[in-house]
Amino acid sequence: MLAALALAGCATVEYYAQSVTGHFRLMVGAKSVETIVADPETTPLLAARLRTALHIRDFASTALSLPANESYRRYVDLDRRNVLWNVVAAPELSLEPRQWCFPVAGCVSYRGYFSESDAREYARALESEGWDVTVAGVGAYSTLGWFDDPLLSSMVELPEYSLAGIVFHELAHQRLYVPGDTAFNESFAVVVERAGVRRWIEAQARAGLGERYRVAAERRAAFLELARDTRHALADLYASSRTDAGKREAKAGLIGRLRARYDAMRATWTSGPTYDFWFERGVNNAAIALLSTYDRWVPALESLLAQSGDDLDAFYRASDLLAALSADERRARLEHLERGARRSSSATTSSNRILDGARTREVSLDETRSASP
């Protein structure tokens, strides 16, 4: 790190300084979860949440084969809602996010700040250069096993399934990380997160918890499908022969259509999580690119998990083989898996249509039965 700073410009030195200082403050402020739970000054609600967090942490290693270390066994009470703010940028007429390169982590498609004001100041500078920019609050981050990452108040205040998901996601980064391939790293962690949460909920055997997660998962899938459709349409637009002025006009139309489709879907939701916050931040290429970072290879890797018999250890071994490939070879393999996932999805959809038709005919023959909406 010292060598990197010695070769860096002033702006880079300032950036690394805020990163090191911000993380150091967290590490210094962290206290053992057991100590906090045993403290009579701790509120019953916080103590209960921290006990749940410890159960989740143990489950991650014993049931999901994630690293068994001291990460998420200490707690820090933040004075803010987010621990970090990530700045993401993309060209005005491209979905390819800007890359920033760092020691150890390699090149990534975001730049994190412990101060929201610093993040927004940097975002304004990028906007003045003509970039599409978004600033996203972050509730947790991973040091990839270099430090014992603490539990944060921004994590334990979340619903139980979300807390479990974050712990599993960040530990997945410790299990496997390919420097310079943000989309693969995040997609791998998302697949581990979802598989882990499903297993955690099954182990708890609490119907209410499972139902809340089901609703959240269905809404997430529906929202991502809308965003994915828009991403594909924008990619086709930017690759077209239209003039830049024509592309800008069509871009605005596609983003407006995305908002209209979301509003129509949102109107059917009576309670539970929404994605209003994403639209409130502003929709542009950077916002869509950030979603893609976490979603790009999820279908491919979920297909790989299925091919591994839903066995996480086998999935990890298969993912390790992908990680060992060159970037081009890994992308080609992931695209192959993705095509297979699409074919499987199409076949399932066709089968469901046939079954739905059969059910419709069945109801018409016996109108005394109740049809599910």
Question: Per-residue pLDDT tens for 66-90?
Answer: 999 999 999 999 988 899 999 999 9
Q: What is the mean pLDDT of the chain?
A: 88
**357 DSSP β-pair partners:** none
Tokens of 282: 């502003």
137 sits in which H/E element: strand 132-138
Q: Is residue 106 very low, low, confident or very high in pLDDT (cuts 50, 70, 90)?
A: confident
Considering the chain, what percentage of its residues have pLDDT values greater than 90?
73
70 lies in a domain? yes
- Mean pLDDT of the 255-267 span: 97
**Cα end-to-end span (Å), the chain:** 59
Strands 74-76 and 132-138: unpaired
pLDDT at 123: 97
pLDDT at 284 over 90: yes
Residue 364 forms part of a structural domain: no
Name residue 328's amino acid: D
**Residue 208 domain-assigned (yes or no):** yes
Concatenate the DSSP letters of all residues of 52-103 into one string.
HHHHHHHHHHHTT----SSTTSEEE--SSS-SEEEEEEE-TT------EEET
Q: Which domain holds residue 74?
A: 2-300
Lowest mean pLDDT, pick from 11-15, 290-294, 301-305, 347-351: 347-351
pLDDT band for position 191 (cuts 50, 70, 90): very high
The torsion region of residue 137 among left (phi > 0), alpha (psi -120 to 50) and beta comes to beta
Task: Report the distance separating Cα 362 and Cα 366, nearest Å.
Answer: 6
Whole-angstrom distance, CA of residue 45 vs CA of residue 42: 8
| Model pLDDT, residue 342 | 80
Q: Answer whether residue 335 is part of any domain.
A: no
What is the average per-residue pLDDT within 188-206?
A: 94
**Residue 269 CB partners (closer than 8 Å, separation 6+):** 219
Identify the residue with better confidence: 104 or 273.
273
Residue bearing tokens 């999580």: 273
Going by pLDDT thresholds of 50, 70 and 90, the confidence category of residue 11 is: low
Q: Indicate whether 15 pLDDT > 90.
A: no
Assess if residue 252 is contained within a domain.
yes
Is residue 335 predicted with pLDDT exceeding 60? yes
What is the reported pTM?
0.83
* Mean pLDDT value of segment 35-56: 96
Q: List Cβ neighbours of 18 (8 Å cut-off, separation of 6 or more).
A: 113, 114, 115, 118
Q: Which pLDDT score, from 0 to 100, does residue 1 have?
A: 37
Residue 369 has pLDDT above 60, yes or no: no
- Locate 232 and state its tokens: 């594909």
Enter the tokens of residue 88.
Answer: 């993401």
Residue 157 has pLDDT above 60, yes or no: yes
pLDDT value for 346: 59
Total of domains in the chain: 1
Q: Residue 108's pLDDT is what?
A: 86
Element (H, E) at 232: helix 207-238
Assigned domain for 337 exists: no
5 has a pLDDT exceeding 60:
no
Residue 150 lies in a domain: yes
Taking each helix axis as running N to C, give the angle between helix 207-238 and helix 160-175, from 0 to 180 degrees, rounded to the nearest 10: 60
- Which range in 52-61, 104-113, 210-219 is most confidently predicted, on average pLDDT? 52-61
**Cα(266)–Cα(289) distance, rounded to whole angstroms?**
22
- Model confidence at 197, pLDDT cuts 50, 70, 90, reads very high
For residue 306, being part of any structural domain is answered with no
Among residues 185, 48, 29, 40, the alpha carbon closest in space to that of 104 is found at 185
Do residues 165 and 53 make contact, with C-beta atoms less than 8 angstroms apart?
no
Helices (H) and strands (E) in the chain, counts: 15, 8
More confident residue, 263 or 349: 263
